[in-house]
Amino acid sequence: TTEIAGISELGLIGRGEDAEITTYLESAMTSELQGNVIDLCPVGALTSKPYAFQARPWELTKTESIDVMDAVGSAIRVDSRGREVMRILPRTNEAVNEE
């Protein structure tokens, strides 16, 4: 969160195998980017709890769409398996999404 939002709300505590990624001082995150922390993780260490281990990426059908619940019309990608939506991810669209 420091590199993207410029605030230190999420970090590492502990050392070695006892290390945990968490908020500092057990406080809630207040950044406007808190919902995107998983997507911003450069190494994939943070995972989405509802999606984790539900499907492999190669099993999913990827469909580009727009977020109909967002007045801005943010670009998204809907990953599904059969008729079930497994996850929704952001997608880059310079005309809509801010970088």
Tell me if the pTM is above 0.95. no
Q: Which residues of 43-77 are buried (b: 16+ CB within 10 A; e: fewer)?
A: eeeeeeeeeeeeeeeeebeeeeeeeeeeeeebbbe
| Token pair for 18 | 């006892």
Scan for tokens 């880059």, then name that residue. 92
> Residue 97: pLDDT band by 50, 70, 90 thresholds?
low
Q: What's the whole-number average pLDDT of the chain?
A: 78
Domain range summary for the chain, segments of one domain joined by + = 1-46, 52-99
pLDDT, greater one: 7 or 43: 43
- For the segment 7-24, the average pLDDT, to the nearest whole number, is 77
The CA radius of gyration of the chain, in Å to the nearest whole number, is 16
Are residues 55 and 81 in contact, defined by beta-carbon separation less than 8 angstroms?
A: yes
